[in-house]
């Protein structure tokens, strides 16, 4: 994937972390701990990026046949939630690399041009 295909559309305000499901907070904190965080932040920067490069990446990933989230009924539930106006947690990326959110991403396919992401590179010193 070329860097040109992954251009930030717009930076959003920091989003409060307590609005997301607990399982997502755990995943996010696991990544943040790897970066040296000792406490879970109250908010994190979220930005909007084009969906297609990440979708291409997600489609190339292999699924574990035992993964409940890969089952059609689970995907249908995510899609229904998104269509009903539910706010899904952002995807987690590191630069151009998708780390978490491929199921949410697939649920948004064909209905969104951009997607919200938390880029772990935003937490590294510049």
Supply the pLDDT for residue 5.
44
Segments of the chain scoring below 70 in pLDDT: 1-12, 62-86, 126
Q: Which pLDDT score is estimated for 104?
A: 84
CA distances from 88 to 3, 31, 46, 83, 116 (A): 26, 19, 13, 11, 9
Predicted model pTM: 0.77
Q: Determine the Cα–Cα distance for residues 112 and 52; give it in Å rounded to an integer.
A: 9
Cα distances (angstroms) measured from residue 101 to each of 39, 53, 115:
22, 14, 11
**pLDDT recorded at residue 102:** 85
Q: What is the pLDDT of residue 50?
A: 92
- The alpha-helical segments, DSSP class H, found in the chain are 22-34, 51-60, 72-83, 102-108
Torsion of CA 26, 30, 33, 34, to 10 degrees: -170
Q: Look at residue 108 in the predicted model and tell me its pLDDT.
A: 82
Supply the pLDDT for residue 76: 58
> In the prediction, which pLDDT does 3 show?
44
CB 117 within 8 A of CB 31: no
Residue 38's pLDDT is: 93
CA–CA separation, 31 and 27 (whole Å): 7
pLDDT recorded at residue 4: 40
């Amino acid at each position: 994937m070329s860097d040109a295909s992954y251009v930030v559309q717009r930076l959003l305000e920091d989003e409060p972390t307590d609005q997301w499901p607990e399982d997502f907070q755990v995943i996010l904190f696991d990544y943040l701990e790897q970066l040296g965080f000792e406490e879970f932040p109250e908010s994190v920067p979220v930005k909007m990026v084009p969906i297609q490069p990440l979708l291409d990446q997600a489609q190339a990933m292999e699924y574990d046949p035992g993964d409940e989230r890969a089952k059609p009924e689970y995907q249908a539930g995510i899609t229904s939630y998104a269509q009903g106006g539910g706010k899904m947690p952002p995807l987690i990326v590191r630069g151009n690399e998708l780390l978490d959110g491929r199921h949410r991403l697939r649920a948004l396919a064909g209905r969104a041009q951009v997607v919200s992401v938390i880029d772990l590179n935003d937490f590294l010193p510049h």
